[in-house]
Amino acid sequence: MDIFRQLFDSESHTYTYLLADSLSRQAVLIDPVLELLDRDLTLIQQLDLVLSYVLETHAHADHVTSAGELRSRTNAVTVASSASGVSCADQKVVDQQTLHVGNINILVLSTPGHTNGCVSYYVGNRVFTGDALCIRSAGRTDFQGGSPSVLYHSIREKLYRLPDETLVYPAHDYQGMTVSTIGEEKRFNRRINATTTESEFVNLMNSLNLPEPKKIMTALPANLNCGKVG
Ligand code: FE
């Protein structure tokens, strides 16, 4: 991949990623936000790209996806995990499946635990971790079939086994951080590092007592329907 952009939604603190191949002009968006549909479509047009795929890391509870809108405006194929409950997705992917977009190869890694349908996308030396592994943190596990013990195994046995220099791009950040590496997270992650035990992680995650995401009642049903409300 030789075109790469990290885009940000300042309202939900969501990162959307644009990946494209400069030769075939085929592009992929990961986790696009409905309110920023025009921004993303304009950028794709200005860079002279054709949107081939819209990938979701999971069914989000904090913002509505633009996947359905993008599909109807561009003919892009929408992709979500077969375990995500996103039944409207054109293509439902499973662990170790590869998507080919021009010269970009995207390996699907099943990384459940934040939700039971979370996947990460591993592309070259980058991994897009959704809300499984965040920078110095990990996604909450208290709704949508989340499980701290499942997330522990996803992070330790899938993500932390990638090369240390792999760049980590999460779906959100609230501290102004934009990118990390697997090696950095194994050393400095505050919730789960290379030596954290499963029971330490489970106890920590079960004691967080976080408020519900503001948009969960509207965002979740909409996202299970590719962002179409009602
Ligand atoms: Fe999430």
Going by the DSSP 8-state scheme, the letter that residue 62 receives in this structure is S
Q: Say which CATH superfamily domain 3-209 falls into.
A: Ribonuclease Z/Hydroxyacylglutathione hydrolase-like (3.60.15.10)
| Listed residue (34, 35, 31) closest to 19, CA to CA | 31
104 Cβ contact list (under 8 Å, min separation 6)? 1, 19, 20, 21, 26, 28, 123, 124
The answer to whether the predicted template modeling score (pTM) of the entire model surpasses 0.95 is yes
- How far, in Å, from the CA of 119 to the mean position of ligand 1? 11
- How far, in Å, from the CA of 24 to the mean position of ligand 1? 32
Indicate the domain borders of the chain. Answer: 3-209
Q: Which amino acid appears at position 186 of this protein?
A: K
- How far, in Å, from the CA of 143 to the mean position of ligand 1? 10
- How far, in Å, from the CA of 111 to the mean position of ligand 1? 12
Block means of pLDDT (10 residues each) for the chain, length 230 residues? 94 97 97 98 98 97 95 96 93 97 96 97 98 98 94 98 98 97 98 98 96 90 86
State residue 230's pLDDT score.
56
Rounded (10°) angle between helices 148-157 and 198-206: 130
State residue 118's pLDDT score.
97
- How far, in Å, from the CA of 48 to the mean position of ligand 1? 31
Separation CA 29–CA 14 (nearest Å): 13
45 Cβ contact list (under 8 Å, min separation 6)? none
- How far, in Å, from the CA of 61 to the mean position of ligand 1? 6
89 Cβ contact list (under 8 Å, min separation 6)? 56, 67, 78, 79, 80, 226
- How far, in Å, from the CA of 130 to the mean position of ligand 1? 7
- How far, in Å, from the CA of 185 to the mean position of ligand 1? 19
State residue 49's pLDDT score.
98
- How far, in Å, from the CA of 23 to the mean position of ligand 1? 33
138 neighbors 191 (Cβ within 8 angstroms)? yes
State residue 214's pLDDT score.
87
For residue 37, give the H/E element and its range.
helix 37-46
- How far, in Å, from the CA of 166 to the mean position of ligand 1? 22
176 Cβ contact list (under 8 Å, min separation 6)? none
